Structure formats: structure tokens, C-alpha cells
A and B are shown apart, each in its own frame.
Chain A
Amino acid sequence: MSKIISIHSFRGGTGKSNTTANMSAILAAQGQRVGVVDTDVQSPGIHVLYGLDDSQMVHSLNDYLWGKCGITDTAIDVTKNLKVPLSGRVFLIPSSIKAGEIARVLREGYDVGLLNDGFQDLLDGLKLDTLLIDTHPGLNEETLLSIAISDILVIIMRPDQQDYQGTGVTVEIARKLGVPSMFLVVNKVPQAFDIKEVKERVERIYNCTVAAVFPHSEEMMTLASAGIFSLHYPDHPFTAIYKQLAAYLTA
């Protein structure tokens, strides 16, 4: 049974794309066929983590939304880009990084229902075990759709007052949309904070399981999205936390 998992945050810069990419690598290492959709059409970026450049991007999600191609035509097998042998596969469905195309999709909008059809076509066409949706931060129509159709919603937040408030809104809306399973991830926690205390506090506030708490990491900052952390640092404590998160998602 395939799963749709949305990775979301209310505010930008929480580590959403990094978490998504790491989940894709860990699940593929377990033998899964994983699709990653970049629905952040306003500010796409996850392709960078897969070392994808313009020349590899023949079609994008934007082309599908404009009826130029089927959604499976936009999928790029990025498994080899990861440069680590994986028993599964990772397919990326990128959003366009061309300024004119970003402008067009923002200006004209698109049929959100096409996304729903497209996600189903990806699951079937690529025989995916898991479809990961990297969403745009905040709440807009396609984000709400992604949340509504997800089997699991992962909300990433930092221990910051603005994040606390925004995450509360997202949790409330996810509950209204009947999401079957929801986990919180707290990222970029200052080293001075007590991880256990942060986990307990966040769980208490939102009445929701915290699947992972990541302390602020210099190594992550140094990698600067030049690759997927868990593949670069397989023995790092962070990688163990990513694997712990993956275990929640596959349970």
C-alpha cells in the first residue's frame, strides 16, 4: 500500500526540503521506490539537494499543470545523482526554476485539482511505495490540498515564538482536514536547550507526537544544501535522528 507524506512548515527556513530529501534517501536505502514532488512553485529549491541542474530538467511540474505533458514525464530518476548505492529509487518531480515560468504560474494560477490527479498518476505510473510532497511554507490552496490527501503529515518547526503560533494554526487546519496521522519535528534547536524538555513541551502544546528533535548542527550548515546529509554523514547522530523519523513514517 503506497503512502503520501507531506512535509510542511508554517514558516520558511525550517529545514523542510532537507528533511524531505533525507527521508527520500533513507526510504530508498530500505528498498523503497520514492517520489518527491516539489510543490513549492513560488520558490523551488529541493532539486539542489539532488545535485540537479537545468540540463537534466526537461519538464517540470509547471509543464504538467499547463497541460504540456503527463506528470510522469516530469519525473527524473535522481538515484544516481546521490552517488551512493541504494536498493530503491528516488524520482524527483521538480518545479521550474525559470523566472518567467514561476511568474506565469503565480500570475495565472492553475487547476489545483490537477495536482490531486497528478499525485495518483505518480503513485501508479512510477509504482511508488512513498510519495513525499515538499510543500510551500504557510497555507495556500495547494498546501491545503497536499495536507488533505496525505496519509501522514509532518510539520517542521523551530523553537521560536512565531513558529509556535503558526504551527498551532497548521495543526488545527490539518485536524479539520481529517489527516489520518500527523507528526511534529522540531529543528535547529539551540545546543543550550534540553532536547527532552523541548519534545515534552511541544507534545503538550499541540497534543501531537514529536517524531524527532534536531539540535542546531554546524555540519548541516556547512553542507549548505550541497547534498543529502544522511548520505554524507552516515554515522552522524543527526542521521540516527533522521532514521528515527523515517521509522515513524514507515510504522
Chain B
Amino acid sequence: MDQDVFAQLLIELASLPDMDGVSMSEIVFLPEHLRALMNWMVRENSFQFDNVAVFLKQNEENSRLILDILVTKGLIEEVKGDDQEVYQIHLKVSRNYRVPKDIWKVIDD
């Protein structure tokens, strides 16, 4: 990732509101560079700082900046790691099947 793309990524991140997690359908509609980063993170499932720096092809300072913004915005979260921080995408709980309550009451009964 060259400096232009890095700068673009910062702009894309700045345009995002704070989010309490992200859904896959939201990832699909993220701007190009941020989407590519999130796609990579989804595929990795969990990742460390070093992995992110390698993917971004950025130095430690720039990579840390991106990670911190992603955590602050609620797109990723730190999970338990042995010695180094481990991160995961903060995926929202899927609740996209909602139908009127009485239908399920009938099935439950």
C-alpha cells in the first residue's frame, strides 16, 4: 500500500461514524480501500499488529494509527492474546430474520 493509498484510507476512516460493531452488509458498502482492509481482516479472523503492518505495507507508526482508529470507531476489537495484542473484526449479531412476534409464539407453542 503506497502513501497515496494510505492517505486515502485515512480519509475513508474519517468519513465513518463511530460504530458499535460492523455487519458484513456494511462492509460490502465501505469505500474501496477500507473495504479491502476489512475483507482481509475477516479472512484472517484474528490478527496481530505485525500482520496488519505487513498487509498495509506501512511503517509501525502508520499501522498503529490505522489500528487505533479502527478500534476507536468500533470496527475491530482487541481480544485475548498470549503475549501480543490480538484483534478481531467486531461483527454485529445477526438479527436480520425478524418477523412479527406472534408467528414465533405459535411455532414455539
The residues of A with any CB-CB pair to B shorter than 8 Å are 42, 99-100, 102-104, 106-113, 116-117, 120, 139-142, 144-145, 148-149, 173, 176-178
Interface pair B28/A141, CB less than 8 Å apart: no
**Residues of chain A within 8 A of B98, CB atoms compared:** 107
Residue in chain B with minimal CB distance to A103:
B107
Interface pair B108/A112, CB less than 8 Å apart: no
Interface pair B108/A103, CB less than 8 Å apart: yes
B24 contacts partner chain A, Cβ-Cβ < 8 Å: yes
User: Which single member of A100, A110, A148, A176 contacts B93 (CB below 8 Å)?
Assistant: A110
**Residues of chain A within 8 A of B43, CB atoms compared:** 148-149, 178
Per-residue interface assignment for chain B, residues 82 to 94, with 1 indicating a CB less than 8 Å from any chain A CB and 0 otherwise: 0000001111111
B62 contacts partner chain A, Cβ-Cβ < 8 Å: no
**Residues of chain B within 8 A of A145, CB atoms compared:** 24, 42, 91
Residue in chain A with minimal CB distance to B32:
A176
**Residues of chain A within 8 A of B90, CB atoms compared:** 113
Shortest CB–CB separation between residue B105 and chain A, in angstroms?
A: 9
Tell me, in angstroms, the Cα distance from A110 to B99 when the chains sit together: 16
B residues 20-38 touching A (CB-CB < 8 Å): 23-25, 27-28, 35-36
The residues of B with any CB-CB pair to A shorter than 8 Å are 23-25, 27-28, 35-36, 39-40, 42-43, 45, 88-99, 104, 107-108
Interface pair A110/B94, CB less than 8 Å apart: yes
- For chain A, what secondary structure do more than half of its interface residues adopt (helix, strand, loop), or is it mixed? helix
Residue in chain A with minimal CB distance to B89:
A113
Interface pair A149/B107, CB less than 8 Å apart: no
Residue in chain B with minimal CB distance to A42:
B97
User: Which single member of B36, B88, B93 contacts A178 (CB below 8 Å)?
Assistant: B36
**Residues of chain A within 8 A of B104, CB atoms compared:** 103, 106-107
Further pairs besides A144-B28, A149-B45: 6, Cβ < 8 Å = A106-B104, A111-B94, A142-B94, A145-B42, A176-B28, A177-B28
Do A148 and B23 form a contact, CB below 8 Å, given A107-B104, A109-B97, A141-B96?
no
Shortest CB–CB separation between residue B20 and chain A, in angstroms?
A: 13
Interface pair B91/A140, CB less than 8 Å apart: no
Tell me, in angstroms, the Cα distance from A112 to B26 when the chains sit together: 13
**Residues of chain A within 8 A of B24, CB atoms compared:** 112, 141, 144-145, 148
User: Which single member of A107, A116, A173 contacts B45 (CB below 8 Å)?
Assistant: A116
**Residues of chain B within 8 A of A148, CB atoms compared:** 24, 27, 39, 42-43
Interface pair A112/B92, CB less than 8 Å apart: yes
**Residues of chain B within 8 A of A144, CB atoms compared:** 24-25, 27-28
Tell me, in angstroms, the Cα distance from A140 to B39 when the chains sit together: 16
Do A109 and B28 form a contact, CB below 8 Å, given A120-B45, A178-B36?
no
What are 10 sample pairs from A and B whose C-beta atoms fall under 8 A apart? A42-B97, A100-B107, A102-B107, A109-B95, A110-B93, A111-B91, A140-B97, A145-B24, A145-B91, A177-B27
